Amino acid sequence: MSPRALAFVVMLPLAACGGGGTATMQMYPLTGAIARENPTLVIEAKAENTEGTSGPLTFRLPGKDGKVKCEGTWSSLTPRTVSNSSGLSLTFKKTGGELGETTETVAGVNTGEIYAVCADATRVQGTFVIGSGTASGSGNATDTNGNVYKLLF
Protein backbone atom coordinates (compact mmCIF):
# COMPACT_ATOMS: atom_id res chain seq x y z
CA MET A 1 0.00 0.00 0.00
CA SER A 2 1.38 3.40 -0.91
CA PRO A 3 2.09 5.96 1.85
CA ARG A 4 -0.66 8.24 0.49
CA ALA A 5 -3.27 5.43 0.58
CA LEU A 6 -2.14 4.45 4.08
CA ALA A 7 -2.52 8.05 5.30
CA PHE A 8 -6.02 8.19 3.79
CA VAL A 9 -7.07 4.95 5.52
CA VAL A 10 -5.71 6.18 8.87
CA MET A 11 -7.30 9.66 8.62
CA LEU A 12 -10.76 8.55 7.43
CA PRO A 13 -12.05 7.40 10.84
CA LEU A 14 -10.74 10.59 12.46
CA ALA A 15 -12.52 12.76 9.90
CA ALA A 16 -15.79 10.98 10.65
CA CYS A 17 -15.62 11.83 14.35
CA GLY A 18 -17.90 14.58 15.61
CA GLY A 19 -16.56 17.65 17.33
CA GLY A 20 -18.10 17.41 20.79
CA GLY A 21 -21.86 17.18 20.41
CA THR A 22 -24.70 19.51 19.61
CA ALA A 23 -27.81 20.51 21.51
CA THR A 24 -30.95 22.45 20.71
CA MET A 25 -31.88 25.49 22.76
CA GLN A 26 -35.44 26.81 22.59
CA MET A 27 -36.00 30.56 22.75
CA TYR A 28 -39.56 31.58 23.70
CA PRO A 29 -40.40 35.27 23.04
CA LEU A 30 -41.98 36.70 26.22
CA THR A 31 -42.34 40.41 25.44
CA GLY A 32 -41.63 42.68 22.50
CA ALA A 33 -42.62 42.81 18.83
CA ILE A 34 -41.93 39.13 18.13
CA ALA A 35 -44.14 37.99 21.06
CA ARG A 36 -46.93 40.36 19.96
CA GLU A 37 -46.84 39.10 16.35
CA ASN A 38 -46.74 35.38 17.23
CA PRO A 39 -47.04 34.49 20.93
CA THR A 40 -46.66 30.74 20.22
CA LEU A 41 -43.41 31.04 18.25
CA VAL A 42 -40.49 28.87 19.37
CA ILE A 43 -37.06 29.83 18.01
CA GLU A 44 -34.66 26.88 17.88
CA ALA A 45 -30.99 27.60 18.36
CA LYS A 46 -28.23 25.07 17.70
CA ALA A 47 -25.39 24.97 20.22
CA GLU A 48 -22.27 23.09 19.16
CA ASN A 49 -19.42 21.60 21.21
CA THR A 50 -21.76 20.89 24.13
CA GLU A 51 -19.23 18.53 25.69
CA GLY A 52 -16.94 21.52 26.19
CA THR A 53 -17.38 24.81 28.04
CA SER A 54 -18.08 27.04 25.02
CA GLY A 55 -18.95 26.81 21.36
CA PRO A 56 -20.76 28.28 18.36
CA LEU A 57 -24.45 29.20 18.55
CA THR A 58 -26.69 29.69 15.48
CA PHE A 59 -30.38 30.53 15.07
CA ARG A 60 -32.78 32.57 12.93
CA LEU A 61 -34.99 35.40 14.19
CA PRO A 62 -38.14 36.54 12.40
CA GLY A 63 -37.53 39.74 10.45
CA LYS A 64 -39.28 42.07 8.04
CA ASP A 65 -38.00 40.14 5.01
CA GLY A 66 -38.17 36.58 6.35
CA LYS A 67 -35.84 34.95 8.83
CA VAL A 68 -32.60 36.66 9.83
CA LYS A 69 -29.53 34.47 10.47
CA CYS A 70 -27.79 34.99 13.81
CA GLU A 71 -24.39 33.62 14.83
CA GLY A 72 -22.59 33.82 18.13
CA THR A 73 -21.13 31.95 21.06
CA TRP A 74 -22.33 30.25 24.20
CA SER A 75 -20.04 29.88 27.19
CA SER A 76 -20.44 28.16 30.56
CA LEU A 77 -18.28 28.56 33.63
CA THR A 78 -17.86 24.89 34.47
CA PRO A 79 -15.25 24.20 37.16
CA ARG A 80 -13.24 21.02 36.81
CA THR A 81 -10.79 19.24 39.10
CA VAL A 82 -7.60 17.65 37.83
CA SER A 83 -5.89 14.89 39.80
CA ASN A 84 -2.37 13.77 39.00
CA SER A 85 -0.97 10.48 40.21
CA SER A 86 2.54 9.15 40.26
CA GLY A 87 4.25 6.43 42.21
CA LEU A 88 6.41 3.37 42.29
CA SER A 89 4.90 -0.10 42.08
CA LEU A 90 6.77 -3.14 43.34
CA THR A 91 4.29 -5.82 42.23
CA PHE A 92 4.95 -8.35 39.48
CA LYS A 93 1.91 -7.22 37.45
CA LYS A 94 2.80 -3.52 37.52
CA THR A 95 6.53 -3.17 37.49
CA GLY A 96 7.87 0.35 37.35
CA GLY A 97 5.84 3.43 38.11
CA GLU A 98 2.40 4.78 37.45
CA LEU A 99 1.63 8.17 35.97
CA GLY A 100 -1.83 9.46 35.29
CA GLU A 101 -4.18 12.39 35.15
CA THR A 102 -7.93 12.47 35.77
CA THR A 103 -10.24 15.38 34.97
CA GLU A 104 -13.70 15.55 36.55
CA THR A 105 -16.54 18.07 36.48
CA VAL A 106 -17.41 19.56 39.87
CA ALA A 107 -21.03 18.81 40.81
CA GLY A 108 -23.40 21.76 41.09
CA VAL A 109 -25.10 24.43 39.03
CA ASN A 110 -23.01 26.64 36.76
CA THR A 111 -23.69 29.92 35.03
CA GLY A 112 -23.27 30.73 31.37
CA GLU A 113 -23.85 33.38 28.73
CA ILE A 114 -24.90 33.63 25.10
CA TYR A 115 -24.07 36.42 22.69
CA ALA A 116 -24.96 36.56 19.00
CA VAL A 117 -25.04 39.10 16.19
CA CYS A 118 -27.64 38.82 13.43
CA ALA A 119 -27.36 39.69 9.74
CA ASP A 120 -29.59 42.77 10.30
CA ALA A 121 -27.25 44.00 13.12
CA THR A 122 -29.59 42.84 15.93
CA ARG A 123 -27.58 41.68 18.94
CA VAL A 124 -28.86 39.02 21.34
CA GLN A 125 -27.38 38.65 24.81
CA GLY A 126 -28.43 36.41 27.69
CA THR A 127 -27.52 34.39 30.75
CA PHE A 128 -28.41 30.88 31.86
CA VAL A 129 -27.78 28.28 34.55
CA ILE A 130 -26.83 24.72 33.68
CA GLY A 131 -26.32 21.52 35.66
CA SER A 132 -22.72 20.32 35.85
CA GLY A 133 -21.99 17.61 33.32
CA THR A 134 -25.32 18.09 31.53
CA ALA A 135 -26.65 19.99 28.53
CA SER A 136 -29.82 21.04 30.40
CA GLY A 137 -30.56 24.50 31.68
CA SER A 138 -32.66 27.65 31.55
CA GLY A 139 -32.20 31.39 31.38
CA ASN A 140 -33.23 34.69 29.80
CA ALA A 141 -32.05 36.76 26.86
CA THR A 142 -32.81 40.14 25.32
CA ASP A 143 -32.12 41.68 21.94
CA THR A 144 -31.42 45.22 20.81
CA ASN A 145 -34.95 45.49 19.37
CA GLY A 146 -36.56 45.19 22.81
CA ASN A 147 -37.54 41.52 22.68
CA VAL A 148 -37.17 39.34 25.79
CA TYR A 149 -36.79 35.55 25.49
CA LYS A 150 -36.98 32.59 27.87
CA LEU A 151 -34.20 30.06 27.17
CA LEU A 152 -34.75 26.35 27.77
CA PHE A 153 -32.45 23.50 26.78
Contacts of 14 (CB under 8 A, 6+ apart): none
Single-letter residue type at 102: T
CATH code for residues 20-78+110-152 = 2.40.128
Domain boundaries, the chain: 20-78+110-152
Task: Please report the pLDDT score of residue 51 as a whole number.
Answer: 85
Nearest to 112 by CA among 86, 71, 73, 85: 73
Phi, psi of 152 (to 5 degrees): -135, 135
CA distance 114 to 139: 10
The one-digit pLDDT tens for each residue of the chain (153 residues) are 443 333 333 333 333 334 579 999 999 999 999 999 999 999 999 999 988 889 999 999 998 888 999 999 999 986 656 666 665 555 666 565 556 666 565 667 899 999 999 999 999 999 999 887 677 899 999 999 999 999 999
What pLDDT shows up at residue 87? 58
Helix, strand, coil: what percent of the chain each, to 5? 10, 60, 30
